[in-house]
Amino acid sequence: MALLIGIILILWGAFILFSSLFRMKSKDYKDLGISGFIEWDFLYKLLSKFPPRVYKSFVILTGVALMVLGIVIIL
């Protein structure tokens, strides 16, 4: 079960990393925050007030963190 969860987290993190590096433009970062969770919506709305590089760095960091968490769970 841990292997499956680890693989899902790695794939999810890779998808976030790929989309944030290659597919998303700076206007796309303003449209985030529709997850349904109040905490994430508030965090993304707060981060959208910063310059796009800061916001993009946070999204990249989220993707890398999910990948590392998946690797840690597998090991």
pLDDT in tens, 14-33: 888 887 777 666 665 555 55
Statement: residue 75 has pLDDT above 80: yes
Question: H-helix or E-strand containing 42?
Answer: helix 38-47
Per DSSP, the three-state class of 3 is: helix
The lowest-confidence range among 14-18, 38-42, 43-47 is 38-42
Residue 9, class by beta-carbon neighbours within 10 Å (0-12 exposed, 13-18 middle, 19+ buried)?
A: buried
For residue 46, give Cα distances in angstroms to 22, 32, 42, 58. 23, 11, 6, 12
Statement: residue 43 has pLDDT above 80: no
Residue 38: its pLDDT value, please?
Answer: 67
Residue 37: its pLDDT value, please?
Answer: 59
Residue 18: its pLDDT value, please?
Answer: 80
